[in-house]
Structures are given as structure tokens and as C-alpha cells.
A and B are shown apart, each in its own frame.
Chain A
Amino acid sequence: MIKFLFQSFFVRWMRKLQIRRSYVASLPADIITDIFVRLPIKSVLICRCVCKHWNTLISNPNFAKLLLTYTLPAVMIRRKHSRFFHLVEYDRIEWHERRNNTLFSGVFEVLKPNSSSIKLDPKFEIPLLGTKVYAVLVCNGLFYLSCSNNGDISLVCNPITGEFIRLPKHPPILKPCECEISRGFGFHPKTNQYKVMRILIFKHDHPMVVEMLRVGSTTWINIEVDYPKNLISISRFSVYLNGALHWLGKDVDGNVSIWAFNFDTERFQSFSIPSDQGPKVGIHEFSGFFCMTYYNEPITMWIMKRYGIEESWTPILVNSDRNINSSITMFHDYIAYHDRENKEYKIFRTDCSDNIQILCLVPTLIPLKDIIIGDNVEVHNIYSLNYPKLRFY
């Protein structure tokens, strides 16, 4: 009898000891994975370094795909020409319920010119030894960076994982006169390829030169396009949406229209703008729709409810509190969109000068080699290079 009691106590005591010792080791993999997908990206990266077991789970390519389905869109902010990018994740902003929406004041601390306290983290540095990063375009969580004005150094990278691919040099610009350079970075869903474009518009009647590179290949291709001859300039950076790149184009009469390059047809198509409210305009993607903003007083935003159909331009009200679940408000120089129900937010700059650049992306951990199709694609990692100023905050 006593022996029986002793045995049962002993067994229970041993079991308790076991649990205390191997709390985490005995959690099944699918439970741990379920927990990881609910964490913000920074915490996922931290958990990757906590222990080998967690590292294996997170480094699994299927995990990255699963995480992408849970990840909320985030915003990355950088100062002009800076190599430092700040990631602002939805979970890490403190959302207050006050009506005047000062919830963004924390976000914009870092954007004040002399702010010494960097309130946003994590911060990602792309270490390219002292060069400025001139152009950054984002598509599906990847960045295209152009690090010198003549396009010698450019790369496509995933800032979260640090992987990047160097792109081949641009072909030299042969025409003698001045030209404007516009860039685009987008994704072609049919062929699953990322494409970079460069458009040169020359003064004095030289034809436009359009070059395209499929990321993963080694040569830039010249594309012959039809375009109206009175198109004299287009915006410097494209907006990617629906398998096409969009630029704002201006003709000799000063009329503004939208030029879309479709990757399927490899042709330009133009849309007219919704209304004639002045020269200061911007285009961007908003909740899956193509959006145009007029930076007047007051600011007006129009979205193209059905893509490609000009009659479907619909104005959205800024500063309207009609919907309690989502709101668009003006705050200093920014327009902020917050959807409480779907946990989405977006920030747009209203000032056209690009002192601060705002990039909207969905952070992803998917390795580049699974995304970029090509022969002999060499993937490097900024965190494994021996740069002296290598930091990841």
C-alpha cells in the first residue's frame, strides 16, 4: 500500500519536473508555428535566433509562405538619399481612440528634421559603402534600389531578410542631349517574373527609349513602343498595380494623363485623369485600387473603382468620420488611412518634394531564390557581408 502511494507520488513528481524542464521542447511544431505567425516581423526574426528548434521551424520555406498570409501591410520610411529604412508595423503603433487622430504623432517623430531620438525600430541599413540610395521602388515586399544616377549599381533586395541580387549595368545612354530618366519596378503575374524598366525621354524630338530587364537575366532589352509624340515628360517613379506599371505623363499643352505599361501586351495605354484640379498631383495604390490625389486646398482623392474604366473614378472624402471602422485623415503633411476592422493602415505624403519617402509593403521572409527565376542568380545577403558599418537595429 505504502509502496503504491510512494510510486504514484514519485511518478507525478517526475512528470512535473519533466514539464518544467522541457516546457517548450515538448510543444508540438504546429502549435509553435501557430504562435509565430501571429507575431510582428521583428519578433519573428528575434525568435529565429532564440533556439535551434525555433530556427528550423522559421527557416522552413513553407513557414514563410504561411506567414505571408497572416502579415499585415506595413510602411517603411526613409529620409532623402538615406540608406536607413524604418519599418513601421501595424502591431507596434499605439492606436488611440481619440477623435483627432493624434495616433500618428509617434510615427512621425522620426520625420522631424532634427529629431535625435529615433523612435521607430527596427531600422534596416543597406550598407553599400558610402553611396547614396537615389531611387527606391517597392513591389510585393521587394525593393529595387538604384545607387547612383547613371544606374551602375542597382539591386533588388528584400530588406527584411537582407537578401539581394545585383542587377546588370544599364546600357549606356547614346543620345547626346539631355534626357529625363524614369524608372519602374513591377511583377508580371503570368510569368511570375519581376521586371525593372527604365524610360528615357529626350528633349528635342528624339524618340523615347524604353528598356526592360527581367530580374534574373543578364541583359536589358529595348522595347519599341507607340506613344504620342507630344508626350514630353513622365513622372520619375512608377506605381505598380494589377500587372502594370503606371506613370503620370504630361504633354506639350500641359495636359496630364496616366500612362500604364502592361506587362502582358508590352504596350502603353493611357487613362484620363478624373478632373482638372491643378498641377500638383500624385498617383499611388490604395487598398487594391488605383488612386489619384490632388494636392490642393482641400486635398481630394479619387479612386478608380474599376481598373481601366475611366468613368469609374470616384472621389473619396478625406477627414470624414462617417465610418467608425475606417478613416482617412490629414495630419501635418500626411494623409493617413486606418482601417480598424482589417487592421490596415497607409500613409501618403502630401508634399510633393521627396524629402521623406514612404514605401508601403507587405514584409515577407520568402527567400529570394524562390521568387527570382533565372539561371545563375547569385543571392547575397547584406548581413553576411563584412562591411564595417553593418548594423541591424
Chain B
Amino acid sequence: MELLCIRQWISGLLPTWLSAWCIKPVGGALVRQEPEYILLALMGSPLKKIMLCSSEKEIFSVEEQVMVQHSVIINNMIEDGSYNHEESKIPLDCVDSKTLKKVIDYCTHHTHHHNDNQEDLEAWDAQFLNVDSNGLYDLLMAANYLEIRNLLDLIYGTIKNMIKGKKIDEIRRIFNIKDHGFTPEEEEQNRKEYPHFY
């Protein structure tokens, strides 16, 4: 039992040891790294940062830990090694700067305040989603693209509350549906069958 633990401990530390010796595994081979990175490796670098690039070419620096915890897409990118820490930035062409900033804000807050009590978190979330409908739409598309499950569920909950308990005309107004797409006969049929929905 102890041998297994020791082996795991050693294999966990192996990358750090290798990087301390400036050796980096790249594509199955061991390559000597540049000396500048020796210091970083020795420091342990828990605050490793990654660069996210919005559609407006603005670059945001974010702790890797934070994004990896929340976004499945970014987690996959980093895990399968297609992201090169030193050089590249992750281009997110579908997300504009304002939204990206908000998303990063959400992820950072939830990572750092993970152990807060439920009510405080919910209050923060409610404040966070206090945006206009365009902003909500942008956040929804960003959360969907980056696959951030808890932000997505949160936005779904908000939209669900916007729909629940409302009648058809109100929903059309809220979601700005000017043309409902039904033929006049269909619309009349609906109004006849379900008059109290309107």
C-alpha cells in the first residue's frame, strides 16, 4: 500500500523535477528548456496564467486553475496539450471583450469564494445577472461556447423565471418577437383554443 502511494507521489512530482532540470517532455522526447523558466518551475507557479483573446483582439490574463475548473472547452484544450503556455493565447472569436470580462469575473469569483455559504453566492449571482437582455444573450452564448455548466444553469434559471407565469403577449414582448410566424388561421385557432393564455 505504501509503495503505491510513494510511486504516485514520485510520478506526481516528476514533471516538476524534470522542469527543475530544464527538461521538458515534448512529443515523447525530452527537450532542454530555456533557462529563464528554471526559476518559474522552482517557484512552483500555482498561479499559472493563461491568455484569452476576445473577438475584439483584447487579451485577458486569467489564472489557469480558475478557467480549467469551470470551462470544459478550456480544460480540454490545456489537457490535450494543444495550448502552449509560453507563446499562444486562446482565441475566442465568438465572445466579445465585455462578455469575456464578465465570464472571467464569474469564474474567478466562484473559484475563490467556493466555500461561502449558499445565500451569499446566490446574492452575488443575482447581482451578476443584473444585465440587459442583450448582455444576457451574450453571456448565454459565451457560456454555451465555453461549456461552463453552472453559469449556463444559472442563466437558464433566469430565463425560465422570465417565462414562467407569463402570458403569450407578455412573452412576445419580453423576447422581442415581432413576427410570430403563424399564419392568420393558425393564430386565430390558437386564440380560440387557449383564450386564457393571451
Residues on A lying within 8 angstroms of B by beta carbon are: 16, 19-21, 23-24, 27-28, 31, 34-35, 38-40, 43, 45-47, 49-53, 55, 91, 383-384, 390-393
Contact = CB atoms under 8 A, between A and B. Distances in A.
Contacts of B178: 21
A138 B172 CA distance: 35
Contacts of A19: 134, 137-138
Nearest to B198: A49
Tell me whether chain B's interface is mostly helix, strand or loop, or mixed: helix
Given A21-B176, A51-B172, A46 B181 contact: no
A21 B165 CA distance: 24
Nearest to B194: A392
In the A-B complex, list the 4 residue pairs whose CB atoms are closest, starting with the nearest: A52-B181, A51-B180, A49-B190, A24-B175
Nearest to A32: B159
A28 B140 CA distance: 11
B196 A24 contact: no
Interface string B134-166: 100110100010000000100011011001111
B150 to A, nearest CB: 14
Nearest to B180: A51
B9 interface: no
B134 A31 contact: no
A392 B164 contact: no
Contacts of A55: 181-182
A108 to B, nearest CB: 21
Interface in B87-137: 133-134, 137
A51 B156 contact: no
Given A50-B168, A53-B181, A55-B182, 12 more contacts: A23-B133, A23-B176, A38-B160, A45-B197, A49-B194, A50-B172, A51-B182, A52-B180, A52-B186, A383-B193, A392-B196, A393-B196
A28 B164 contact: no
B156 A38 contact: yes
Contacts of A384: 193
Contact of A39 (B134, B164, B175, B180): B164
A91 B163 CA distance: 13
B167 interface: yes
